[in-house]
Amino acid sequence: MAIRIPRDQVIYSFSKRHSARYTAVPGDSVIFETVDALGGQIVNESTTLDKIDWSRVNPATGPLYVEGARPGDTLVVEIEDIKVSDRAVILVAPGFGALPDKDFRPSVKILRVVGEKLIFGNLEIKVRPMVGVLGVAPEEGEIPTGTSGYHGGNMDVALLTIGSRVYLPVFTDGALLALGDIHVVQADGEICVAAAEASGEVRVKVGLVKGKRPRYPVIESEDKYSIVAFGKDLDEAAYRASEEAVYTLMRAQGLSFEESYMLASLVVDLRINQVVDPVKGVRAEIPKKYVKLEHLLHHLT
């Protein structure tokens, strides 16, 4: 039977200082009960944003201590299932999102989930549940759950869905995994600052790769690996994603920098994860034809 972590066990930052009440061993399945990114504070469409306690947004359920995880290892998180509630919330607020200069009124919209469809007014959108926040304790300090980094965190990558595997660098004993911020569906960019935010459950299987770790979080999908980079702006995030992709191709194919740089221009796709959080996100997608997992992991030096 899977370990279950209740939704009242939440953190609002990733840090070594958080103590874990739940422990798993590699191979265990763990169910994380989650609260929506607004902390369940949006009751209806009349709820005004000034009523929201912003210190309670982006709750992440956990942390989970994984036996055997040590600094320099890789934590493997396979997303086995995501269950979402039949109700989702989306909002817009002046000064936020990809268009912060626009003059508009703050607004909240309650959306219904009916089977495999999200109902947005008269439109139907195909449901594709994903996890927005998934990370481990960083090497030092305390990072809010609303931002991303080497530790993962608020990556908001649409690829974090059922069937994907996430490879996270381990910085502290037990890794201290936490996750939350389920989206019923989210397009790349998350333009307005929110997606279809919902409560629900995420079942994952945890594993370990000993003795080496990725520089950035890596997502494995059916046909590709994605390097999830970040930056103060999209230029910096794209630079980091591109740099790691080029060096990965060098290791995988035995190429010079110049040749790898050329190859990257032919086979690596840069995609925007989100443009609205304090740290922006870009991923480099590399087809599995050209790299293996071992080429994305580094020995700790």
pLDDT at 156: 97
Could you tell me what percent of the chain has a pLDDT over 70? 99
pLDDT tens-digit series, residues 134-174: 999 999 999 999 999 999 999 999 999 999 999 999 999 99
In this structure, the answer to whether residues 206 and 292 fall within a common structural domain is no
Is the pLDDT confidence value at 206 over 60? yes
**Which residues constitute the domain of residue 265?**
218-299
Per-residue pLDDT, averaged over 194-222, amounts to: 98
Report, as an integer, the average pLDDT of 53-61. Answer: 92
Question: What CATH number has the domain bearing residue 78?
Answer: 2.60.120.580
Whether residues 232 and 147 fall in one domain: no
How many Cβ atoms from other residues are within 10 Å of residue 104's Cβ? 10
pLDDT band at 51 (very low <50, low <70, confident <90, very high): confident
- Point out the domain boundary residue: 188, 212, 236: 212
CATH code of the domain in which 291 resides: 3.10.28.20
Banded pLDDT at 50 (limits 50, 70, 90): confident
Indicate if 122 and 253 belong to the same structural domain.
no
Q: Tell me the pLDDT band of 25, cut-offs 50, 70 and 90.
A: very high
Res. 299 pLDDT band, cuts 50 70 90: confident
Is the domain of 129 the same as that of 278?
no
Q: How many CA atoms lie within 13 A of 244 on its CB side?
A: 28
Give residue-wise pLDDT tens across range 242-276: 999 999 999 999 999 999 999 999 999 999 999 99
Residue with tokens 């999830």: 228
Q: How many domains does the chain have?
A: 2
Strand partners, 134: 153, 179
Same-domain check for residues 131 and 235:
no
Residue 301 has pLDDT above 90, yes or no: no
Note the pTM of the prediction, 2 decimals: 0.96
Q: What is the DSSP string of the chain?
A: --EEE-TT-EESEEETTSPPSEEE-TT-EEEEEE--TTTT---STT--GGGS-GGGSS-EEEEEEETT--TT-EEEEEEEEEEE-SEEEEEE-TT-SS-TT-----EEEEEEEETTEEEETTEEEE---EEEEEE---SSSEEETTSEETTEEE---TT-BTT-EEEEE--STTEEEEEEEEES---TB-TTS---EE-EEEEEEEEEETTEEESS-EEE-SSEEEEEEEESSHHHHHHHHHHHHHHHHHHHHT--HHHHHHHHHHHPEEEEEESSSSSEEEEEEEETTT--HHHHEEE--
CA 275/CA 280 separation, integer angstroms: 5
Least confident window among 22-26, 105-109, 202-206, 296-300:
296-300
In this prediction, residue 2 has a pLDDT band, given cuts at 50, 70 and 90, of confident
pLDDT surpasses 80 at 1: no
The predicted pLDDT at position 175 comes to 98
